[in-house]
A and B are shown apart, each in its own frame.
Chain A
Amino acid sequence: MSKQSPNVSPLRDWQQDLHDRSVPTVSTTHADRRSFLKASLTAAGALLITASLHPRRARAESSSSPGMLGFFVRIDTDGTTHIGARSPEIGQGVNTSLPMIIAEEMDADWARVKVKQMPMALKKIDEAPGIAWKYGPQGAGGSTSIPSAWSDLRQVGAKVRQLLLQAAASQWEVPVSDLRTEAGVVIHADGRRLSYANLAASAATSAWPEADVPLKDPKDFRIVGTAQPQVALREIVTGRAEFGIDARMPGALVAVVARCPHFDGEIESFDASAAKQIPGVREVLVLPGPKHGEPISANLATGVAVLADDSWAAIKGRRALQIRWKPGPYAQESSASLDRQCAELLKGEGIRCREDGDFDAAREAAARTVEAVYRVPYVSHCPMEPQNACVHVEADRVRIVAPMQSPSGASRVAHQLTGIDRFKIDVRMTRVGGGFGRRLSNDFVAEAVLLSKLSGKPIRLLWTREDDMRHDFYRPFGHHHLIASVDEQGAVSSWAHRLASASKYYRRPNVKPEDMWNPEIYPDDFPAQLVSNLRLEWFAVDSGMTRGSWRAPAHTANAFAVQSFIDELAVATKRDPVALRLAMLGEPRELEYGGHGGPVFDTGRLAGVLRRAADKIGWGRDPGKGRGLGIAAHFTFGGYAAHAMEVAVADDGSYRIERCVCAVDVGRPINRSGLEAQMIGGTIDGISTARNLEIHIRDGQVVEGNFDRYRLLRMADAPDVEVEIIDSEADPAGAGEMGIPTAAPALTNAIFAASGVRVRSLPIGPKIAAG
């Protein structure tokens, strides 16, 4: 992979960052930064867990053993406990919840914990591909940070505790079995106590335990399962939290790029003379882009970059550019042409993604068949912080500071574009102003790398909102045709989900054409295995839009279609929507689930959230004239969620969510405040998107460019969200995505109940069409 890799990473370990004022620290107690600096200065006797009496041996171990356990914790002599946070903080709360897991197992005093973002770090391994995570996985996507932390960071904390216990045992000359721990102290059976602060130095002289050590019994948890405010609160409310856009590199030029607005288009010609007249503009460069139809492995589009002394000069410089673009092969594409394409495709036969029993025969024999088509539009991620990156490419090294969800992807793309050894690519994650899947792609990092390479200067790349909204990896567009039949007894005897969509794998490197449906239909999703004659069929929509992962990817589209359709089926067969769902789920049992979030799907847990949401909203009551109750439940990436809403529809078609309940079972809650926040946020995101959001296409270009036309939900339309957390003891799943998929169908089902109008095409709009 790399030409000549040194054995150890030349990057500083994050512990060194503890002494570096430029790397922000955040604290559970929200003490100000000055007290932290004092703590750092007095940290001479600090416990560096990686240190050892046999330093050479211990270091070798710590750089070769999986998990990198010694890298996360340091205890100062004053008791301050530093815990490293390895995953990017995109608002999902992992800089709080991951350290909580370590703190729990080591029995730290949470009030004394300070958290610091760790940089991305790799290590060399002998097996292919020769490179692996040094601190464990460091991405943010797929709601995976918590489950992976649960499997390795608990051991990190437990091993730290083990070292402290051993240190106390040898100081007192007693067996470890006589000792226990409490928040920050070791206690002997006879009542003697030693604080972690006092034990830290001697504990640091022991070798890091190689074998797994016993973990706490969850009934003894003191931190996991509580509600903790996020650790960076004080920095955020005082404006000191550092996001990617706040990063600075000495001598950096601000780059603003005019990207080709046509899907797969090119530059025909351009004139930069006026741009170069703008004071502060230093250079105008052509940014190369991907070739027609080729996989997108770096940046999204070709363009012209203006490099300037500051943001305003760069923005003005770009405005002054005269560019003639050459439209690409999608110049005719429009939202309407996509709708026509879908309708046409659905008349034919697609790829069979799953075929159980005999759908056609069952449909033939059925007492009653119901069908409907649902439309889900393209939508943009538009994280509040537009894309940006600070990158400096030098002769033999690269430095990247950026808001990312996939820092290893940033390192890979920088290597791909420069040929520089990955161990000489320093990747620093900042706090991230929202991810939603957008920053799983590193196209913006690639642009900054290219521009730094071309100009020879450090580059601070800035995207404006228009750049962000018009150059995205959009949530796929699709039409969902659902067909179900019921037998004489009213049981669902057949089910088909026929989806024509623009696959999110479009132009993704290394994807085979026959796998394009994989991210569009998840074959084990409800009601697979619950209806004996089942067909899942997919049709490829041709579109020039670049697509990608949008928070809870296909679940948002598919849960809308499936959970709306169940409601339609219930209405058509005069059954209660909750009762029908429960009947289909049947006895609580585990079904096989081969997709992400598996290996099992527990019907009882889905029924559990459905019942809880129904109870809380008062399902079955008559909400009065012009009001209706709607419900939906779905399994997303290992977590179960249900929404129940009460909606009032006025005579003019405007509608209001009067109550909104979200019941969630993501296994054992780690941080209840964070979990509740994710459910509130997911719910609002789901409502916002269902209500107003669509990216339209005209002449092979994106229409919407900013929040004036892309109307995110605002305070006046945001309901309160009543979150019901199921107290599960199952291993924790993540929580970043589960709150979205059921929000839209619960809303449209409630609108139907209130008004008799069935919304089958998203977005709903501020008013529903008269029924």
Chain B
Amino acid sequence: MIKFTVNGAEHQFDGDSTMPLLWYLRDHAGLTGTKFGCGIAQCGACTVHVDGEAARSCTLPVAGLEGKKITTIEGLAEGRLHAVQQAWMEQDVPQCGYCQAGQIMAAVDLLKRHPDPSDEQINTLTNLCRCGTYPRIRSAIKRAAALAKSESAGREADA
């Protein structure tokens, strides 16, 4: 029996522990926002956060998740949309939208590491978008950085 949390809720799994987290989420937890694109950690469509860091869930067996905290796209907004989600909407980023959950999870992770990312830092993102939304992703990341900055300034002013 493996125990971990997904978006704050306790999960237990006693099935095949070689199952990648991606399939657990999609087939067993009813969380289909995390997408399957390649299955070999190449495309990033399946990106989630494990203990706060981006990870490609298609190659993460459930066996290694004991005690981990997992966040998926469905759990990213806490009460209100995350700054990255807001920026994605402002910039009208998605086309088909299939890669975008993974793109957003990867961008949130990037902004945690680099709150004011340079173009070179944005270039380290390797998530694939077959529709070619990269230019809008780039501008949305910059916009999200600005939004996050004004949000945290707002929080400090409130305190």
Assess the B40–A708 pair: CB atoms within 8 A: yes
Assess the A237–B88 pair: CB atoms within 8 A: yes
Any chain A CB within 8 A of the CB of B128? yes
Assess the B132–A434 pair: CB atoms within 8 A: no
* Residues in A590-619 with C-beta less than 8 Å from chain B: none
Q: How far is the CA of A432 from the CA of B130 in the complex (A)?
A: 12
- What 1/0 flags go to B56-81 for Cβ under 8 Å of A? 00000000000000001110110001
Any chain B CB within 8 A of the CB of A685? yes
Residues of A within 8 A of B33 (CB): 238-240
Assess the B94–A311 pair: CB atoms within 8 A: no
Q: How far is the CA of A93 from the CA of B37 in the complex (A)?
A: 21
Any chain A CB within 8 A of the CB of B101? yes
Any chain A CB within 8 A of the CB of B2? no
Instruction: Name the residue of chain B whose CB is nearest to the CB of A435.
Output: B96
Assess the B130–A311 pair: CB atoms within 8 A: no
Instruction: Name the residue of chain B whose CB is nearest to the CB of A381.
Output: B130
Given A239-B74, A714-B126; A677-B134 close (CB under 8 Å): no
Q: How far is the CA of A497 from the CA of B73 in the complex (A)?
A: 51
Chain A: interface residue count, which band?
A: 35 or more
Assess the B135–A680 pair: CB atoms within 8 A: yes
Any chain B CB within 8 A of the CB of A331? no
Any chain B CB within 8 A of the CB of A30? yes
Assess the A434–B28 pair: CB atoms within 8 A: no
Given A707-B128, A712-B128; A433-B96 close (CB under 8 Å): yes
Given A706-B40, A708-B42; A682-B132 close (CB under 8 Å): yes
Given A384-B129, A688-B132; A91-B101 close (CB under 8 Å): no
- What 1/0 flags go to A726-751 for Cβ under 8 Å of B? 00000000000000000000000000
Any chain B CB within 8 A of the CB of A132? no
Partner of B135, one of A432, A706, A714, A721: A721
Partner of A707, one of B20, B38, B136: B38
Assess the B100–A310 pair: CB atoms within 8 A: no
Assess the B36–A245 pair: CB atoms within 8 A: yes
Q: Is the interface of B mostly helix, strand, loop or mixed?
A: loop
Question: Closest CB-CB distance, A333 to chain B, in whole Å?
Answer: 26
Assess the B92–A673 pair: CB atoms within 8 A: yes
* Residues in B12-53 with C-beta less than 8 Å from chain A: 15-16, 18-20, 23, 26-28, 31-40, 42-43, 45
Any chain B CB within 8 A of the CB of A508? no
Q: How far is the CA of A514 from the CA of B100 in the complex (A)?
A: 45
Residues of B within 8 A of A310 (CB): 19, 23, 27-28
Name the residue in A279, A383, A682, A716 with the highest tally of chain B Cβ atoms < 10 Å from its Cβ.
A716
Q: How far is the CA of A178 from the CA of B98 in the complex (A)?
A: 49
Question: Closest CB-CB distance, B62 to chain A, in whole Å?
Answer: 9
Q: How far is the CA of A91 from the CA of B132 in the complex (A)?
A: 11
Partner of A384, one of B45, B73, B85, B136: B45
Residues of A within 8 A of B88 (CB): 233, 237
Assess the A229–B92 pair: CB atoms within 8 A: yes
Assess the A30–B89 pair: CB atoms within 8 A: yes
Assess the B133–A232 pair: CB atoms within 8 A: no
Instruction: Name the residue of chain B whose CB is nearest to the CB of A687.
Output: B132
Question: Closest CB-CB distance, B25 to chain A, in whole Å?
Answer: 10
Residues of B within 8 A of A239 (CB): 31-34, 72-74, 76, 101
Given A239-B73, A706-B38, A708-B40; A680-B45 close (CB under 8 Å): no
Any chain A CB within 8 A of the CB of B122? yes
Name the residue in B26, B38, B123, B132 with the highest tally of chain A Cβ atoms < 10 Å from its Cβ.
B132
Instruction: Name the residue of chain A whose CB is nearest to the CB of B98.
Output: A433
Q: How far is the CA of A680 from the CA of B104 in the complex (A)?
A: 19
Assess the B128–A384 pair: CB atoms within 8 A: yes
Question: Closest CB-CB distance, A282 to chain B, in whole Å?
Answer: 15
Assess the A718–B77 pair: CB atoms within 8 A: no
Residues of A within 8 A of B43 (CB): 384, 465, 707
Q: How far is the CA of A499 from the CA of B35 in the complex (A)?
A: 40
Q: How far is the CA of A242 from the CA of B34 in the complex (A)?
A: 11
Q: How far is the CA of A348 from the CA of B91 in the complex (A)?
A: 54
Assess the B132–A237 pair: CB atoms within 8 A: no
Any chain B CB within 8 A of the CB of A307? no
Q: How far is the CA of A431 from the CA of B16 in the complex (A)?
A: 31
Assess the A243–B39 pair: CB atoms within 8 A: no
Partner of B97, one of A232, A464, A680, A714: A232
Any chain B CB within 8 A of the CB of A563? no
Residues of B within 8 A of A75 (CB): none
Any chain A CB within 8 A of the CB of B138? yes
Question: Closest CB-CB distance, A442 to chain B, in whole Å?
Answer: 18
Any chain A CB within 8 A of the CB of B99? yes
Assess the B23–A311 pair: CB atoms within 8 A: yes
Instruction: Name the residue of chain B whose CB is nearest to the CB of A236.
Output: B97
Q: How far is the CA of A93 from the CA of B96 in the complex (A)?
A: 8
Instruction: Name the residue of chain A whose CB is nearest to the CB of B31.
Output: A239
Partner of A464, one of B28, B39, B131: B39
Question: Closest CB-CB distance, B28 to chain A, in whole Å?
Answer: 7
Any chain A CB within 8 A of the CB of B137? yes
Instruction: Name the residue of chain B whose CB is nearest to the CB of A233.
Output: B89
Assess the A677–B81 pair: CB atoms within 8 A: no
Assess the A384–B131 pair: CB atoms within 8 A: yes
Given A311-B26, A673-B92, A706-B42; A384-B98 close (CB under 8 Å): yes
Any chain B CB within 8 A of the CB of A44? no
Assess the A311–B89 pair: CB atoms within 8 A: no
Any chain B CB within 8 A of the CB of A280? yes
- What 1/0 flags go to B129-158 for Cβ under 8 Å of A? 111111111100000000000000000000
Name the residue in B100, B124, B134 with the highest tally of chain A Cβ atoms < 10 Å from its Cβ.
B134
Residues of A within 8 A of B89 (CB): 30, 229, 233-234, 237
Assess the B27–A237 pair: CB atoms within 8 A: no
Question: Closest CB-CB distance, A700 to chain B, in whole Å?
Answer: 25
Partner of B19, one of A91, A240, A312, A673: A312
Question: Closest CB-CB distance, A734 to chain B, in whole Å?
Answer: 14
Residues of B within 8 A of A683 (CB): 132
Question: Closest CB-CB distance, A747 to chain B, in whole Å?
Answer: 14
Assess the B16–A280 pair: CB atoms within 8 A: yes
Any chain B CB within 8 A of the CB of A68? no
Question: Closest CB-CB distance, A226 to chain B, in whole Å?
Answer: 12
Partner of A238, one of B77, B98, B131: B77
Assess the B128–A680 pair: CB atoms within 8 A: no
Question: Closest CB-CB distance, B81 to chain A, in whole Å?
Answer: 7
Given A238-B33, A677-B133; A715-B96 close (CB under 8 Å): no
Partner of A718, one of B27, B45, B92, B132: B132
Q: How far is the CA of A682 from the CA of B135 in the complex (A)?
A: 12
Assess the B92–A233 pair: CB atoms within 8 A: yes
Given A240-B74, A312-B23; A91-B16 close (CB under 8 Å): no
Instruction: Name the residue of chain A whose CB is nearest to the CB of B100.
Output: A236
Residues of B within 8 A of A300 (CB): none
Instruction: Name the residue of chain B whose CB is nearest to the CB of A716.
Output: B123
Q: How far is the CA of A93 from the CA of B131 in the complex (A)?
A: 12
Assess the B37–A384 pair: CB atoms within 8 A: yes
Partner of A383, one of B28, B38, B94, B96: B96
Name the residue in B28, B38, B45, B136 with the highest tally of chain A Cβ atoms < 10 Å from its Cβ.
B38
List 18 A-B residue pairs with CB atoms under 8 Å apart, sorted by A's residue number: A230-B92, A237-B94, A239-B31, A246-B32, A311-B23, A384-B43, A432-B96, A465-B40, A673-B92, A680-B135, A681-B132, A681-B133, A707-B42, A708-B40, A708-B42, A715-B123, A718-B132, A719-B135
Q: 15 more A-B contacts (CB under 8 A) besides A238-B74, A238-B81, A715-B138? A: A90-B96, A230-B92, A233-B89, A237-B73, A237-B104, A279-B15, A310-B28, A311-B23, A311-B27, A465-B43, A677-B136, A681-B131, A682-B132, A706-B38, A706-B40
